[in-house]
Amino acid sequence: AQSVAQPEDQVNVAEGNPLTVKCTYSVSGNPYLFWYVQYPNRGLQFLLKYITGDNLVKGSYGFEAEFNKSQTSFHLKKPSALVSDSALYFCAVRDQTGANNLFFGTGTRLTVIP
């Protein structure tokens, strides 16, 4: 069975500091991994994905994520946080067989403090 854990409901970081939003996953076989961001009163927006290859994936708005197979993690990172990064972030996973649909984590609310 697929599952995604986002262990932190809330992450606070000062503007200009690096940020990390954590995600661990469980899937049979190799995963496709995604990060989405949700701003107030909006739908989710795709940030980046991991399919295969380089473990460091770069995405929109300066975000990147590091795939770690041994730790089954896919943490979202940004070197320098902006106040405008404050939003709800979702990690999602599906197995590469295509037999299952995308499975979302419960979300992490990021607040960047000016």
Partner 1 sequence: DADVTQTPRNRITKTGKRIMLECSQTKGHDRMYWYRQDPGLGLRLIYYSFDVKDINKGEISDGYSVSRQAQAKFSLSLESAIPNQTALYFCATSDSGQGNSPLHFGNGTRLTVT
Rounded CA gap, 72 and 60, in Å? 23
Which residue lies nearer to partner 1 by CB, 1 or 114?
Answer: 1
Out of 81, 105, 110, 112, the only residue in the binding site for partner 1 (CB under 8 A) is 105
Least gap, CB of 107 to partner 1 (angstroms): 5
Say which residues have a Cβ less than 8 Å from residue 33's Cβ, sequence separation at least 6.
Answer: 23, 25, 49, 50, 65, 67, 74, 91, 92, 93
With binding defined as CB under 8 A, does residue 74 bind partner 1? Answer: no
The binding site for partner 1 (CB under 8 A) comprises 9, 32, 34, 36, 41-46, 49, 51, 90, 94, 96-98, 101-102, 104-107
